[in-house]
Amino acid sequence: MPKISTVEYFGDLRTEAVHLDSGERIITDAPKDNEGKGEAFSPTDLVATSLASCMITIMGIKANQHDINIIGTKAEIVKEMAADPRRIQTININIYFPQLYSKKEQQLLERSAFTCPVINSLGQDVNKIITFHYN
């Protein structure tokens, strides 16, 4: 399997991830509540954000297949941590669509969102609360 990325530690609880195909970079910092500066996404922030990004991407694929425009769709993400062991307890995502869709289109979009690989990779112990909002 080909490598997809590298991660380098810079000290002060900061890392840089590099996507090898594109050269795109992501900086992470430990969060303020875990000895960090909180100046960038934390690794667990990326997990929660990746879930929303994945869901919208999969909806985009399905929307393209059915000639549905979802450009401008946005998500707000809230992540709650648990202790002992420290882990993501809850990911709460509100997805906002820029326009109204028929009930059939809404069902298609919502069902496709729940087929995203990230949601299917997160364990049962991570509570996932997903709410869809139509304009």
Domains of the chain in sequence order: 5-34 (no CATH), 43-134 (3.30.300.20)
Cis peptide before 43 (omega within 30 of 0): no
Paired sense of beta strands 74-82 and 87-97, if any: antiparallel
Task: Report how far residue 120's alpha carbon sits from residue 37's, in angstroms, rounded to the nearest whole number.
Answer: 31
Question: Is 39 a residue whose pLDDT tops 90?
Answer: yes
pLDDT in tens, 58-107: 999 999 999 999 999 999 999 999 999 999 999 999 999 999 999 999 99
Q: What is the chain's mean pLDDT, rounded?
A: 97
